[in-house]
Amino acid sequence: MSQINVDYVGQFNAERITEPARSALVIVDMQYATGHSSGPLAAKMKAEGNSVTDWRFDRIDALVIPNTQRLIKAMRAAGGKVVYITIGAALSDCSDAPVHMRSFFQSVNNYEGQRAHQIIEELAPKPGDPIVRKTSIGAFASTGLDHLLRTMDREHLFMVGVSSNMCVETTAREAADRGYAVTLVEDACATTHKELHEGTMRNFARFFGKVRSTDEVLGLLTS
């Protein structure tokens, strides 16, 4: 995906030197609710005989989790930060969430105190890792993420998680508009359909930031 032809606007998407000490791995919504094959969304879809999420959860198990584990290790070793973004409500009736999100949060038990709201064990944060809970699709809209990143002097953001075309892409675009150097790690993101995933990567690479593989990012962090 990092080699795709992004047409004429690609020439304006300037390369910015990666400084590991000013970088952060931003892990988006890797919670049991929608980011794990044992979670309520996967179970709900399976019970309904809906196969549209097969690509999503197969990809999460095969690529997103192991690649994110590699990226966490490398980011810590390089002196960067690991920042976790979660989605969900604080209240059990989800009334603190935007109206259009409430019924979905309720359907997958995604509110504080529920297992569904927790970050998956395979990617569990360490003490001191920032965890930012959002109720919106984009993380900047409903949180203090921008303030946090600037306080930590982070300029380069490497984004992974779910869903590629929803929370990951929206957060990445918001970050780019705020002046951050943003990279989507293509093989550490997932959504429900291959076409949606690939379209997201192609569109983001046109103007907003870079799209790279895990191996490419590891090379940047260790060079």
pLDDT of residue 121: 98
Least confident of 8-12, 132-136, 138-142, 153-157: 8-12
Q: Which burial class, exposed, middle or buried, applies to 31 when counting CB atoms under 10 A from its CB (0-12, 13-18, 19+)?
A: buried
- Residue 2: per-residue pLDDT: 46
End-to-end Cα spacing for the chain:
22
Q: How confident is the model at residue 46 (pLDDT cuts 50, 70, 90)?
A: confident
**pLDDT > 60? residue 1:** no
Summarised one tens digit per residue, pLDDT across range 156-211 is: 999 999 999 999 999 999 999 999 999 999 999 999 999 999 999 999 998 899 99
Rounded average pLDDT over 131-152: 98
pTM, rounded to two decimals: 0.94
Specify the pLDDT at position 18: 86
DSSP string computed for 148-209: HHHHTT--EEEEEEE-IIIIIHHHHHHHHHTT-EEEEEEEEEE-S-HHHHHHHHHHHHHHT-
- The pLDDT assigned to 51 comes to 77
Token match 């690991």: residue?
Answer: 82
Domains of the chain and CATH, by start: 8-222 (3.40.50.850)
**pLDDT given for residue 8 in this prediction:** 60
- Tokens at 123, concatenated: 């990617």
Burial class (CB in 10 A: 0-12, 13-18, 19+), 117: buried
